[in-house]
Amino acid sequence: MSEYKGRCACGAVSYEIDRTPLIVHACHCSDCQRLTGSAFAINLVFEAKAVTTTSGAPESVKLDSPSGHPHEVFLCKACSTNLWSKYHAVPYEILYVRGGTLDDSSKMPRPVHIFTRSKQAWFKPPESARAFPGFYEVEDVWPAESLERLNEVAV
Ligand SMILES: [Zn+2]
Ligand SMILES: [Zn+2]
């Protein structure tokens, strides 16, 4: 059974995901602001093998990133909606799926806020949320079950 379904704006590309996310990020970095045209991106992190394209096929573009390794963005070639990203600096087969492309975005778990040092001044993460000025130590933040799942998809 699919935990999540989603699609691009025109519907040419749709997808299903058969498990819960490893972690969810609200990323306030300037690259995510530019890519989304918004104050932050919401990314649900999954094993790449958990994300199945059910119609169409996304194209990808490789962007430079501060890591020196490409940030590959997958998008619908018809409507240009960004669907997910692969960060080639990350030594795991994982994808960052854009939360706003879910059919039922109310199912999104609460995010960990990252790169808040470049967040909009008018935005304040909820008191109860975990928030970090940059990135964080994965071992300190991810649930044990997610760490186990991550180790299974090490490159
Ligand atoms: Zn589309
Ligand atoms: Zn970002």
Cα 48 to ligand 1 centroid, rounded to whole Å: 20
Q: Which domain holds residue 143?
A: 4-151
Residue 1 has pLDDT above 70, yes or no: no
**Total tally of structural domains belonging to the chain:** 1
Cα 4 to ligand 1 centroid, rounded to whole Å: 18
Segment 20-39 shows an average pLDDT of: 95
- Its pTM stands at 0.95
Cα 94 to ligand 2 centroid, rounded to whole Å: 15
Segment 67-88 shows an average pLDDT of: 96
Segment 109-134 shows an average pLDDT of: 97
Which of the ligands is closest to the CA of residue 11? 1
Which of the ligands is closest to the CA of residue 74? 1
Q: Which of 75, 94, 95, 96 is nearest to 7 (CA)?
A: 75
CATH number, domain at 102?
2.170.150.70
Segment 74-86 shows an average pLDDT of: 97
Query: Would you say 1 and 18 are in contact if contact means Cβ atoms under 8 Å apart?
Result: yes
What gap in Å lies between CA 74 and CA 17, rounded to an integer?
A: 16
Report pLDDT for 65: 86
Position 2 confidence tier, pLDDT thresholds 50, 70, 90: confident
Cα 148 to ligand 1 centroid, rounded to whole Å: 34
